[in-house]
């Protein structure tokens, strides 16, 4: 149902020509005055807030109580999940850093800083000899990983009698040649060659990893002119132990580590990337005296209880939406037959409660997210970062919408609903204003990206360009944006200054000020309505003729429709099955 704020967005009692609308006049019909009064009371009861309905019918406001309980439960659930997800992500990130220190030659902590502002250059190799040295370093480190790694890394399904090897795959063009006169010939067909990198026996008792000699003996040609990338892959097994945490069983992970030497840009810089590709596998060991079954049962029971509460919330809201639409049809028919009036579209919208739709959406997200959380905790789906992220999106968004939904109940109090009414009043004007502002904004985004992108770190991509300009609107990093331009072209330098000054001047001093003015105008309008009364539509003029206060006994005598019992919220029953249809449906 719509609550008492449905008509407060101000539909003045004037028609499209600017003249006052004629008052509602009763036309000859089969409706008796008593039926008209009952319809008026039904509508007045429909637009009451939960507190007024409690006074009118002495019924517990189930939906309101359920929403408050649900917000508390889903917030507790989100906090528990957030701590577990944070620990998992932290574990993955620290393992990635450890692997980079172990297998990437000359890796330094400076590479681990945040991408902006960059503290050091990109990790890459620039010489042919460096490529061979880095690959030999990876092979050597992996062969003795069991003895040098602190993190408890082990080989996967490894035979102790053999030395573990790294799998190498190279991708290159089928053929290609450069000639001294500057011409070249290339066949763009891609060739992928793979081999296991093993130690090389030099015959004098020396056995070691030598990638260059290995390629020669395997008759594999490595032409840097045609090379696109080299991939090194190997498996690492590790166990996550948190024995200091009660009832926490070990989790086993298999890391399919991939190290890529990327030469696809062919610009003299071969970038090096390491991707751990962590996935959970079943543990084949046990911890003495540790039993996690009880904890899993408690967590699963708590998640199931939240699913039940969210399902109840959705059913109650959907039932209210369906009842509202039924009442809307009855009201439209009543106005057409009794007043010869068509119920206006904005009056029809008063029967569509967007708060209930919002609650149904957040309930669906919470239900799906809770089910997925149960699957993660019971190990029915892999314990990976992607699954954690998907679950976090559903639970986090559902929790956000749940808290926003609580605003509905604050909106029933005049001193607390100023934010809701102002946003509702300003929404059409704000959308029209933003449409014009966004056209200019995207113009600046594309212009800045194509002109300044090659010379400015903040304009390298469309997404970062938009983020940079949006930050400028809020006054962030202005000097850095001006000073980070790297070019010797004087024209680009002057153009960047004109571009940035124009954007800052237009959006901070003009667009932002007008945007605030649009909202303030709506606020002043709402403030004026509070002092002088809100405009009333024909529907609410009709309702205002009802003088029965919410605590009147007549509501309990007449409105005896379907209700949830105090014991079972889903057990709906008709309190007066012998009542004639006129008391529950005025229009046949």
Nearest to 319 by CA among 67, 39, 564: 564
H runs (alpha helix) in 28-61: 33-46, 50-57
Assign 173 to helix, strand or coil. strand
Segments making up each domain of the chain, as ranges: 1-26+417-551, 61-103+295-416, 111-291
Neighbours of 324 (CB within 10 A): 17
Neighbours of 79 (CB within 10 A): 11
> Which tokens belong to 211?
């990638």
Q: C-alpha distances in angstroms, 242 versus 13, 86, 251?
A: 68, 14, 9
519-545: burial string, b at 16+ Cβ within 10 Å, e else: beebbebbeebeeeebebbbbbebbee
The dihedrals phi and psi of 167, each to the nearest 5 degrees, come to -85, 130
Counting DSSP H helices and E strands in the chain, the numbers are 17, 11
The dihedrals phi and psi of 471, each to the nearest 5 degrees, come to -65, -35
* Strand ranges, E, within 223-304: 227-240, 251-262, 270-275, 278-281
Question: What pLDDT, on the 0 to 100 scale, is given for residue 396?
Answer: 94
Q: Give the C-alpha separation, 128 to 151, whole Å.
A: 32
Nearest to 324 by CA among 289, 357, 282, 283: 357
Cβ(356)–Cβ(401) below 8 Å: no
Question: What pLDDT, on the 0 to 100 scale, is given for residue 370?
Answer: 94
Query: What pTM value is reported for the model?
Result: 0.75
Neighbours of 567 (CB within 10 A): 6
pLDDT in tens, the chain (588 residues): 443 433 344 444 544 344 455 556 555 555 667 777 788 888 888 877 777 777 777 777 778 888 889 999 999 999 999 988 888 888 888 899 999 999 999 888 877 776 666 667 788 999 988 999 999 999 999 988 888 888 788 888 766 667 788 999 999 888 877 777 777 787 788 889 898 988 887 777 777 888 888 888 888 888 888 888 999 999 999 888 766 655 567 778 889 999 999 998 888 889 999 999 888 877 766 665 555 667 778 888 999 999 999 999 999 999 989 988 888 888 888 888 777 788 888 878 888 888 889 999 999 999 999 999 998 888 788 777 888 899 999 999 999 999 988 887 777 777 777 888 888 888 889 999 999 999 999 999 999 999 999 999 899 999 999 999 999 998 887 888 888 888 888 999 999 999 999 999 999 999 999 999 999 988 888 888 777 777 777 787 787 777 777 777 776 666 555 454 443 444 444 444 334 333 333 333
Q: Give the C-alpha separation, 25 to 27, whole Å.
A: 6
Neighbours of 284 (CB within 10 A): 6
Question: What pLDDT, on the 0 to 100 scale, is given for residue 31?
Answer: 65
Contacts of 84 (CB under 8 A, 6+ apart): none
> Which tokens belong to 143?
């062969």
Which region, left, alpha or beta, applies to residue 503 given φ > 0 means left and ψ of -120 to 50 means alpha?
Answer: alpha
Which region, left, alpha or beta, applies to residue 106 given φ > 0 means left and ψ of -120 to 50 means alpha?
Answer: left
Cβ(526)–Cβ(3) below 8 Å: no
> Which tokens belong to 206?
């020396």
Cα torsion 306, 310, 316, 319: sign: negative
Question: What pLDDT, on the 0 to 100 scale, is given for residue 568?
Answer: 41
Three-state SS letters, 499-521: HHHHHHHHHHHHHHHHHHHHHHH
Q: Give the C-alpha separation, 531 to 529, whole Å.
A: 5
Which DSSP letter does residue 22 get?
A: P
My answer on whether omega of the bond before 117 falls inside 30° of 0, hence cis, is yes
Residue in the block written with tokens 């799906």: 368
Q: C-alpha distances in angstroms, 575 versus 241, 361, 367, 501, 568?
A: 59, 31, 32, 71, 15
Please give the full DSSP string across 63-80, using - where no structure is assigned.
HHHHHHHHHHHHHHHHHH
H runs (alpha helix) in 218-292: none
Please give the full DSSP string across 359-382, using - where no structure is assigned.
HHHHHHHHHHHHHHHHHHHTTSS-
Residue in the block written with tokens 């692997």: 99
Q: C-alpha distances in angstroms, 424 versus 12, 316, 317, 412, 534?
A: 16, 25, 22, 15, 14
Residue 207: enclosing H or E segment and its boundaries? strand 207-208
Cβ(485)–Cβ(384) below 8 Å: no
Q: Give the C-alpha separation, 199 to 207, whole Å.
A: 6
Nearest to 193 by CA among 167, 216, 212: 167
Nearest to 542 by CA among 123, 17, 107, 21: 21
Which DSSP letter does residue 24 get?
A: P
Question: What pLDDT, on the 0 to 100 scale, is given for residue 445?
Answer: 95
Q: Give the C-alpha separation, 421 to 418, whole Å.
A: 5
Question: What pLDDT, on the 0 to 100 scale, is given for residue 384?
Answer: 78
């Amino acid at each position: 149902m719509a609550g008492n704020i449905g008509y407060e967005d101000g539909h003045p009692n004037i028609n499209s020509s600017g003249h006052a609308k004629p008052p509602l006049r009763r036309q000859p019909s089969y409706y008796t005055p008593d039926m008209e009064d009952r319809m008026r009371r039904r509508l007045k009861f429909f637009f009451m807030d939960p507190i007024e309905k409690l006074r009118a019918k002495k019924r517990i406001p189930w939906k309101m109580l359920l929403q408050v309980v649900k917000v508390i439960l889903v917030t507790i659930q989100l906090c528990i999940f957030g701590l577990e997800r944070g620990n998992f992500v932290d574990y993955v990130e620290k393992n990635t850093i450890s692997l980079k220190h172990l297998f990437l030659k000359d890796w330094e902590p400076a590479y681990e800083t945040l991408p902006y502002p960059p503290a050091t250059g990109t990790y890459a190799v620039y010489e042919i000899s460096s490529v061979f040295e880095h690959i030999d370093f990876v092979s050597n480190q992996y062969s003795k990983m069991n003895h040098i790694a602190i993190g408890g890394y082990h080989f996967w399904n490894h035979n102790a009698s053999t030395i573990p090897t790294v799998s190498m795959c190279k991708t290159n063009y089928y053929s290609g040649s450069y000639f001294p006169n500057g011409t070249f010939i290339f066949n763009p067909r891609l060739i992928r060659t793979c081999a296991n990198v093993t130690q090389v026996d030099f015959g004098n008792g020396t056995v070691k990893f030598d990638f260059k000699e290995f390629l020669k003996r395997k008759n594999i040609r490595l032409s840097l002119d045609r090379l696109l990338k080299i991939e090194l892959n190997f498996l690492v097994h590790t166990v996550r132990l948190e024995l200091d945490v009660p009832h926490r069983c070990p989790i086993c992970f298999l890391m399919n580590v991939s190290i890529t030497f990327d030469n696809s840009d062919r610009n003299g810089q071969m970038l090096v990337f390491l991707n751990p590709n962590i996935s959970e596998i079943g543990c084949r060991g046990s911890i003495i005296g540790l039993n996690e079954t009880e904890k899993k049962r408690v967590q699963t029971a708590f998640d199931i209880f939240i699913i039940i509460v969210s399902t109840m919330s959705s059913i109650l809201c959907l039932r209210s939406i369906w009842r509202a639409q039924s009442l809307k049809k009855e009201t439209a028919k009543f106005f057409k037959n009794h007043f010869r009036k068509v119920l206006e579209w904005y009056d029809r919208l008063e029967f569509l409660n967007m708060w209930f739709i919002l609650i149904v959406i957040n309930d669906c997200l919470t239900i799906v997210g809770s089910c997925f959380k149960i699957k993660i905790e019971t190990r029915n789906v892999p314990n990976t970062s992607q699954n954690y992220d998907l679950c976090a999106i559903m639970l986090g968004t559902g929790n956000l919408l749940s808290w926003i939904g609580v605003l509905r109940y604050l909106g029933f109090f005049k001193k607390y609903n100023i934010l809701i009414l102002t946003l509702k009043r300003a929404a059409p004007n704000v959308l029209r204003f933003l449409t014009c502002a966004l056209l200019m904004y995207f113009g600046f985004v594309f212009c800045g990206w194509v002109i300044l992108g090659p010379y400015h770190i903040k304009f390298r991509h469309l997404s970062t360009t938009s983020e940079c300009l949006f930050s400028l609107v809020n006054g962030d990093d202005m000097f850095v944006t001006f000073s980070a331009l790297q070019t010797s072209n004087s024209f680009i330098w002057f153009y960047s200054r004109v571009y940035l000054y124009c954007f800052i001047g237009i959006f901070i001093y003009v667009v932002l000020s007008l945007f605030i003015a649009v909202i303030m105008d709506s606020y002043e309008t709402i403030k004026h309505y509070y002092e002088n009364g809100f405009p009333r539509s024909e529907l609410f003029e009709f309702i205002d003729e009802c003088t029965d206060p919410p605590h009147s006994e007549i509501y309990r005598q007449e409105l005896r429709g379907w209700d949830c019992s105090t014991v079972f919220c889903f057990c709906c029953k008709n309190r007066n099955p012998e009542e004639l249809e006129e008391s529950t449906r005025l229009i046949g």
